[in-house]
Each structure stands twice: as structure tokens, then as C-alpha cells.
Amino acid sequence: MITKLLEVFFLILTALMTTYLIRHFIFTLTVLKNAQKRKKAVTVENTTYQPTVSTLIPARNEEQVIGRILQRMTELTYPKDKMQIIVIDDASTDDTGKIVEEYAKNYSYIKVIHRTSKEWGKVKASALNAGLKYAKSEIVLCFDADYYSQADIIEKLVAEFVDPKVGAVQGRVTVLNEPQNIVTRLVALERVGGYRIDQQARDSLGLIPQLGGTAFAIRRKLLESLGGWDESILAEDTDLTFRVYLAGYKVRYVNDAECYEEAVENWRAYWKQRCRWAKGHMQCAFKHSLKVLKSNNLLLKKKIDGLLLLNVYFMPILIWISWIISVLLFFSKPPQWLNALLTTIPLSFYSFVGNFAPFFEVGMGAYLDGRTRACWLIPLLIFMFLYNIVICTKAFTDLLTSKIFGKHTITWDKTVHSGSGNSYIMK
């Protein structure tokens, strides 16, 4: 009886993994096919739509990088009389506040909000909501403090809002300090797969492009009608994505609108960041999965894509469970057809995981970007994959513990930025 149950469960897990595998193939082929077509890029010259824009930059102890993004904000090509820059100094204990104040004195469109230790909400969403109260423009943009954007990124993002059905727009994130070490190089490859392929494919196929928490824009009135950001969710970006779609709007992805991040520099920082992402994403899955299924604003293909996206961080956990089951079944003399299926697992498991940059997506993304030398590092992504299995398992355990015992174990582990990306900016 137990063997039969294990066989059924193993087949269900195999079907799930195969679904993600097919999804990756479709995404990759879609982007490759569209890459052959010549597309007209959005530039300052080909768009006359210029709404007012409020840019939110939350910052806590970011003295190493805050000057870099503020200097870039002053260099943007968007009309300054239509710009409002709001920096939320979230109870910083370093010189972040002083640096921002210097910029605010010299540029009238830069405003700084200082939050005290009592006001500090300990999550990014809290700082964003504090800044939203001062936003007066039609469109709200968000940038993390460690980012460095293209000079014309605002023009590229806001152009999509000509369509009244568009509620939010996401730009492409690439790694600024990629050459620094092996960790930053592998993170850069993850970003290539996640944005150049996954995000682009979802946009092209009319599915659900995901807001990345930075380098994105949203209609202010829509954001306010949704009640701002949910401060109980660690992945406030994923949460906002689905709230936008459930409200009847859509998200667009603009690959040409690039913004450069300072990636984590070591495995400990990677652990903290990805564990936070995994917990937040799982929270969103619990919150939105049923709503997505019941929604009258989503087509069937968007519901399927939405569920796959929401539950992607559970897949690494299910995969190691499938390994255990496969070993048990192997020694229980399974049917011949099941035995054949078991032998395919060691060859294919690496490609099955949804959010951890499968090698063919990364390879195709690097190829389309003209970065063929980076492909030599792709085999090393298997170690990141194994690392993410442990991360996702830990994240799920923390959530489960919090739910069962009522203990608040969900905390925000802020990513520390050293400013290493400064040396990679062309002067």
C-alpha cells in the first residue's frame, strides 16, 4: 500500500517538474523567435507621453551607495519639472541622511524623509508607504539605493502607460559588479535567465511579468487604491504584481529599460537575500493562489502562469523529496516503466527548477546578449541550485514554525552594500 502511494506521489512530482521544464522551453523558444524580428526601441524621440513622475528610493544605512544613485537621478534626461525624487532615510545610523540632505539642498526636486527608530517599520514596504504619502505625480517609480539606471530609463518605462490597461511596468535588472568574484558572476547569470528570457517571454506571451521590487513604475492612483504595499509580506514586489492583475490591470516588461544593481558579494549575503525572497514568495503563494484561480480578471493561461510563478520556490523542496522517494522505489522493485522513469532523474533534475536559471535559459540569454564567454560558468549553477534547495527548505520551515506555534520568525535581513559597484561605472 505504501509503495503504491509513493508511486502516485512520485508521478505527481514528475508531472510538476515536467510542467516547469516545458515552461522553460516555451519561454526560451519564444524569446529566440522574437529576437529574429526587428523591434522599434522606445527612445526619447519616438514618444511624446511625459506624465509627472515621483521616484521613491528607500535607504537604510546606504552611505556607500546612496550618492551614486542620487547623482544619476540628477543626470536623467527626463524633464526635471516633471520629476519628484523622494528618498526615505529609514532610521539610518550612518551618514546616509547627511548625503541625501546635501543633494536636497542643491536640487529642488529631491526631497528627503527622515524616519526615526520608532517609525522604522523594519521592512522595505513600510519605507515605501511612508514615501508614497508625499508622492503627488501620476506615476510612481521605485529604485533600490544600490541601483544605477540608464539616463533615459524613465522615458522607456512611462511610454507603456499610454495603454490605460497597463497598471505597472518593469525594467530589466543587470549586475553592475559582475566581474568582482565568482558569486557576483553567477548572480549575473541568474539575472540573465530571469529577465532576458523569463520576463521577456511572459510579456511576449501575454502572461504575468513580475515586478522586481526596483526599476519599476506604477500608476499612483492604482497603487493608492490597492492600499499601498503590504507590510506583512517580505516579497512586496510579487505581492503587488498579483494585486495589480487581480484588480484588472496588467504589467508590462521593457527589456530596453536597463538598471544596474550591486549584487551580493559572498555566499552568506546570498543566503540571507534568497531566504528572504523565498519566504516572501511563499507568503504570496499562500495569499494569492486561490484568488488567482477564482479571479474573473485573468484568462486561463494567466491563471496557469500565475500559479506556476507563485509556487516556484516550493519546487526545490519537492525535488529533494522526489529524490528520496525515487531511492525508496528503486529498492522496492518498481514496475519496469517506473524504473525507466527513475533513471532519467539524475540527468534532468537540474533543468526542472523554475526560478533558478536553468542552463538553457541562461545560455540563450547570454547568447542573445552577445556574452558567449559567460557561458563557461553555466555548469557552476548546479551548485547554486543545490544551495537554493537548502535555502528554500529553511524558508519553508521558518514559515511553518511561525504558523504552527504562532511565533513571529519573519524578519527582514537587509542586504549590505559595500559600494563595490562604483568602480564599474564608466565616467
- Interatomic CA distance for residues 17 and 358, integer angstroms: 12
Q: What is the pLDDT of residues 146-160, one digit of tens each?
A: 999 999 999 999 999
The confidence score (pLDDT) of residue 350 equals 45
- Interatomic CA distance for residues 274 and 278, integer angstroms: 6
- Are the beta carbons of 215 and 73 closer than 8 angstroms? no
* Res. 204: pLDDT tops 80: yes
Output the nine-digit C-alpha cell for 160.
507603456
Lowest mean pLDDT among 152-156, 167-171, 184-188, 380-384: 380-384
What's the CA angle centered on 315, arms 6 and 9, to 5 degrees? 15
- Interatomic CA distance for residues 166 and 352, integer angstroms: 31
The confidence score (pLDDT) of residue 41 equals 46
| CA distances, 80 to each of 49, 99, 134, 219 (Å) | 15, 21, 17, 19
| CA distances, 263 to each of 146, 220, 245, 267 (Å) | 9, 29, 29, 11
Q: Tell me 40's DSSP state.
A: P
Higher pLDDT, 371 or 248: 248
Q: What is the pLDDT of residues 72-124, one digit of tens each?
A: 999 999 999 999 999 999 989 999 999 999 999 999 999 999 998 877 767 89
- Are the beta carbons of 53 and 90 closer than 8 angstroms? no
Per DSSP, which regions of 102-184 are E strands?
110-115, 139-142, 148-149, 166-175
DSSP H or E segment with residue 397: helix 381-405
- Tally Cβ neighbours within 10 Å of residue 137: 16
The confidence score (pLDDT) of residue 276 equals 93
Three-state DSSP class for residue 394 = helix
Backbone angles phi, psi at 345, to 5 degrees: -60, -50
- Structural domains in the chain plus CATH codes: 1-39+163-422 (no CATH), 42-147 (3.90.550.10)
Three-state DSSP class for residue 169 = strand
Question: pTM for the full model?
Answer: 0.90
- Give the residue-averaged pLDDT of 46-70: 90
Per DSSP, which regions of 154-193 are E strands?
166-175
Half-sphere exposure (CA, 13 Å, Cβ side) for 18?
9
Backbone angles phi, psi at 149, to 5 degrees: -100, 170
Q: What is the pLDDT of residues 218-244, one digit of tens each?
A: 999 999 999 999 999 999 999 999 999
